[in-house]
Chains A and B, each alone.
Chain A
Amino acid sequence: MPKIKLIEHDGTEHEIDGEVGKSLMRNAVDNNVPGIDADCGGECACATCHVFVDDEWLPRTGAPSEEETRLLGFAATLQPNSRLSCQILLDETLNGLVVRLPEAQH
C-alpha cells in the first residue's frame, strides 16, 4: 500500500494508506481529506480535485492529457506542478508521494 501525504493550504498534513488501482482523488475523498471537492466524481469534467504535486514526484505522476490541461488552464491558482487528482492512478511506484492543496477549489 503506497503511503501518500496530502498537505492542506493551511499546512495541515494528512497521511493516508493509498489503495492501488484507485485514483488519488478517490483515495483522498474516501479518507475524508478536506479540500478536495471532486464535484464531477472523477470524469475529468471539472477542476475541483486540483492538487500541486511536489516537484520530485512529477516524473512519476506523468503528464496531464489535453483535456486535463484545458480544465487546469481555467484554474485561478494554476501552477506548473498542477494536476487533477482524479487523473493520477495510484500504484506502488507512488509510495511516498507528496501533494499540496490549493487555497480553494472552483
Chain B
Amino acid sequence: MNVAANIDHETLARTLPLDQFDPGNPKLFQDDVWMPYFARLRQEDPVHYCKESRFGPYWSVTKYKDIMTVETSHTTYSSESALGGISIVDRPVEFRRPSFISMDPPKHDEHRKVVQPIVAPGNLAKLEQIIRERTCSVLDSLPRNETFNWVDLVSIELTTRMLATLFDFPFEDRRKLTYWSDVATADVNAGGPINSEEKRTEVLQECLQYFTRLWEERANAAPGSDLVSMLAHGPATRNLSPKEFLGTLTLLIVGGNDTTRNSMSAGLWFLHQNPAEFAKLRENPALVDTMVPEIIRYHTPLSHMRRTAVQDAELNGKTIRKGDKVVMWYISGNRDADAIENPDTFIIDRKRPRQHLSFGFGLHRCVGNRLAELQLRILWEEILKRFERIEVMGPPQRIYSAFVHGISELPVRIPG
C-alpha cells in the first residue's frame, strides 16, 4: 500500500481492494490517517491476511472480541522471542533481546513475579508522594507566555524522572534513559540516526554497561526496593545472561517510558480538540479518575502486540496456520463499536472507562497499568490546580512507527 501525502484517505480506504491492505505501514500512524483503513477491516474483513509487506506476510486482528481470544489463548498464540516475539518487525536472530514479555509460561511467570512487587499497592502509595513532588516542580518551572514543546518539557521530563526513581538511577544522567528507550524502539526505516540493527546494538551496549555497574553495586548490597536490586536478588533473575539482562532492562525502560509519555502528550491534545470535555473537567476535577483511562484508550500508546501461532487455529472464520504471524491491533479494537459505545468520541466520564485493550489482557497484561494511571492522574490534578489555560499552538508531530504510537512535538503556550 503506497500512501502519498495529499491523498483522500477516506476514499482510498473505502475503495482499495482488501488484498492490497497493509495496515502495518508506519506512515499511516505518522500521518494520523489509520482510522478509515481499520474501520473498513473491522467491517469487511476483521481477520485480514496481508500476503506481502516489508514485515513479511501477517494476519491483522482488528475486532475487540477476536483480540481478546488471541490474548487469552497463549497455548496457540505464542509470545516467544525465538519465534519472532511481540512486534510486527522480525528482528534478525542475533539482534533479539529476550525478556519476559517475549516468553511463554512457565519462564514468563517466574520472571514476572520478580518485578511485580514494584507495583504492589503499598509501594504505589509511597511512589505517589514522590511523583507528586516531581510533577509539581516540573510544572512550576514551565515558561510563561512563550511557545514550548510540551513533549520535551513535560511528558519526557516527567516519565524520565519516574524511571530514574524506579531504577534508583543517578538523577543527573536520567536523560540517558530516554535516549536508550528511543533507540530501543526506533524504526530503522524512519530516517533517524538509528538506521540499522548494528547501530542500535552499539548504543544499547552502553546501556548494558551502565546498568551492569549498577547491578554489581546492588547485588553486593542488601536487597533494596528498586528494580535493579529486585532483578539482582530475585531467584529467577539473578543469573540472567547479559542478553537477557539487557532485554529485561529495555522492557522496563520502554514499558514505563514511551507509553506514559505519549499519553501525557495525547491527553492535552484530546482536551484541546474537545473543549466541551475540557469544560466538564474544569467544573468537576474529580473526573480525572475516569478521564485517565479514557485518554489511554483513545490514544492507544502501543498500536499492536504480535503473536506467532504454534498450532493451526480458527479465528472468526479464518484458518490461521502454525508459524503464522498474528498482529493484534489494539488501536483498532479500541474503536470497535461492538465493544465500546461511541468509540470514536473522547468522553471523559464513561461508565466503564477501563474496558479497553491498551494494556493488553491475559498473562502479559501490563505490569505498570496502575502506575501509569497514577502518573497521569497526578499530572492532571496538578495541571488543573495551576493553569487556567494551556493554549495548543499547532497539531502534534507523530513518529514513524506501527508499534509505538508516538508524539514527538506538541507546541503549547501558557499565558500568565
Contact = CB atoms under 8 A, between A and B. Distances in A.
B109 A70 contact: yes
| Most A C-beta atoms less than 10 A away, residue of B68, B109, B359, B361 | B361
Say which size band chain A's interface belongs to.
20 to 34
A42 B379 CA distance: 31
A104 interface: yes
A39 B109 contact: no
A43 B113 contact: no
Contact of A70 (B71, B105, B361): B105
A45 B113 contact: no
Given A40-B361, A45-B362, A77 B112 contact: no
A40 B72 CA distance: 11
A37 B355 CA distance: 9
| Most A C-beta atoms less than 10 A away, residue of B68, B121, B352, B369 | B121
B113 A74 contact: yes
Contacts of B359: 39
Interface in B247-277: none
Nearest to B122: A103
B153 interface: no
Interface residues of B, number: 25
A102 to B, nearest CB: 7
A43 B361 contact: yes
A44 to B, nearest CB: 7
Contacts of B51: none
Interface of A: 37, 39-41, 43-48, 67, 70-71, 73-74, 76-77, 102-104, 106
29 contacts: A39-B355, A39-B359, A39-B361, A40-B68, A40-B355, A41-B355, A43-B72, A43-B361, A44-B72, A45-B68, A45-B361, A45-B365, A48-B354, A70-B105, A70-B363, A73-B113, A74-B109, A74-B112, A74-B113, A74-B116, A74-B363, A74-B367, A76-B117, A76-B121, A77-B120, A77-B121, A102-B121, A103-B121, A106-B121
